[in-house]
Structure 1
Amino acid sequence: MRYFIELSYFGKNYHGWQNQPHSISVQEVLETNLSKLFPQKIEITGAGRTDAGVHASQMFAHFDSSEEIDLEVMQYKLNSMLPKDIAIADIYPVKDDAHARFDATSRSYEYHIVQQKDVFSIDTAWYFRHDLNIDLMNTAAEKLLKYTNFKCFSKSRTDVFTYNCRIDRAEWVNENGKLIFHITADRFLRNMVRAIVGTLLEIGQEKKPVSYIDEVIKSEDRGMAGTSVPGHALYLTKITYPKNIRFN
């Protein structure tokens, strides 16, 4: 039987989601604790990868088990065993061919910026003190929706077969004193959101014109785009799946 796990995590203490040979990851911690509840080692497959320090308010992963599971008890036990920065929101059965990564239809991220020094957001938002023209940043962000090839925002050494993504939303919003960039797409490339934010910040500082976003994307050159912003202010916030994925 295949099961989906819905979870959240605070990424400060982890070298990203995916297992690493010499660094601690969220996947490793979850697999280690989940395996303690079964007679065999459990391997999980995540909906995607988040970089070191990046947070997730909603993440999904799947695992298989032939054991009969009391899902409510398992969720309680797993939350009791996991460290305080990883929390399980739900565990539920899905169809045998359901896949946490490949069946996801959209993913949403937020990037949080504060423009006044705030000791309470040291690990949750990036302090960026420079003046920004939000209107210019949103005009440039809207241009992202008309493109599909985002090679210019991807890490150069990556194992993807295509750089195509469909972006459905890209918008800066001022929320309770924070400047938050919202972006939703069917998929994301490694480092993509952080590189987009870095590029839009250059436009917001009026170092580059709005048309620069077109030049960067058409170039397909990572060197043309802005610097990747720090990971500690980035959040994976939502992943959507088809409604019929659950086991009936």
Structure 2
Amino acid sequence: MRYFIEFAYKGSNYHGWQYQPNASSVQETLTQALSLMLREPIELTGAGRTDTGVHARQMFAHFDSEVPFVFPDLIKKLNAYLPKDIAVWDIYTVAPDAHARFDATKRTYEYHIHRRKDAFECHNSWLFPHSLDIDRMNDACKLLLNHTDFECFSKLHTDVKTFFCKLTHAEWTSHGDRWIFTISADRFLRNMVRAIVGTLIDVGTGKTSLTDLEQILASKNRSKAGFSVPAHGLYLTEVHYPYIPFRAR
């Protein structure tokens, strides 16, 4: 039987989702817990990769098992065993060929910025105590939605076959002393969101114009785009599948 497991994690203590040699990862931690509870070797395939320090409010992975189990009981045992920064939400029975990565139709990320030093947000949001022109940044977001090739925002030397992504939403919102950037697409390239945020920060500070942004996108050159913002402000917040009812977490 194939199952999807839905979970969340705070990425501060992990070197990303994917297995890393000599480093702790979410994939390794959750795989060990599932293997122990089901008393058989389990392999987990995630909906995507998150980098060191990145958080996930909603993440999925699939695994195969022939061991019978009661969903609520297994979820309760997993949450009791797992560290406090990983929480299992649900488990779903899916078709044998269902794939957590390739079947996802939409992913949404948020990037959180706070403008004043906050002792409680230092690992959950990025401190940027400078002025930003949010209207100008949202004009840049509209420009991004007109494009599909985002090679200029991709980490160099990746093994992807295409740099095309279909963006469906990109927007900055202000919440008092906080700014939140939300972006949705069918897929994302490695480091893409953090590079986009850094480039939009340059737009918001006046360093980069909208004409410059068009030229950056046309260049397909990562060195032309802005800096990558720190990982600890980034959250994977939604993953959608056609056969799983979406529930906001």
| TM surpasses 0.5 | yes
Q: Which aligned pairs between 1:140-159 and structure 2 lie closer than 5 A?
A: 140-159=140-159
Cα deviation code 1:5-55 (max 9, x no counterpart): 000000000000001112110000000111001232101000000000000
* Count of paired positions: 246
Equivalence for 1:86 = 86
Which residues of structure 2 form unaligned runs of 5+?
A: none
CA distance in 1, matches of 2:128, 2:85: 26
Answering whether residue 191 of structure 2 is matched by residue 203 of structure 1, we say: no
CA distance in 1, matches of 2:153, 2:147: 12
**1:244 to 1:72, Cα distance in 2 relative to 1, 3 A:** closer
Q: Which aligned pairs between 1:67-216 and structure 2 lie closer than 5 A?
A: 67-216=67-216
CA distance in 1, matches of 2:172, 2:61: 29
CA distance in 1, matches of 2:234, 2:138: 18
| Contact map agreement 2:55 2:232 (CA 8 A) in 1 | yes
| Contact map agreement 1:16 1:54 (CA 8 A) in 2 | yes
| Contact map agreement 2:15 2:53 (CA 8 A) in 1 | yes
Cα deviation code 1:146-198 (max 9, x no counterpart): 11110100011211111000000010001253100000000000000000000
TM-score relative to the length of structure 1: 0.97
- Poorly superposed stretches of 4+, deviation over 2 Å: none
Q: Which aligned pairs between 1:31-50 and structure 2 lie closer than 5 A?
A: 31-50=31-50
CA distance in 2, matches of 1:188, 1:97: 23
CA distance in 2, matches of 1:11, 1:180: 18
Structure 2 residue matching 1:155: 3-state secondary structure: coil
**1:95 to 1:176, Cα distance in 2 relative to 1, 3 A:** farther
Structure 1 residue matching 2:111: 3-state secondary structure: strand
Aligned-CA RMSD value: 1.3
CA distance in 1, matches of 2:97, 2:75: 23
CA distance in 1, matches of 2:63, 2:134: 43
Equivalence for 1:221 = 221
Equivalence for 1:58 = 58
CA distance in 1, matches of 2:108, 2:61: 16
TM-score relative to the length of structure 2: 0.96
**Alpha-carbon shift at residue 244 of structure 1 (Å):** 6.6
Equivalence for 1:25 = 25
- Structure 1 stretch displaced more, 151-160 or 171-180: 171-180
Which residues of structure 1 form unaligned runs of 5+?
A: none
Cα deviation code 1:38-80 (max 9, x no counterpart): 2321010000000000000000001000111211111000111
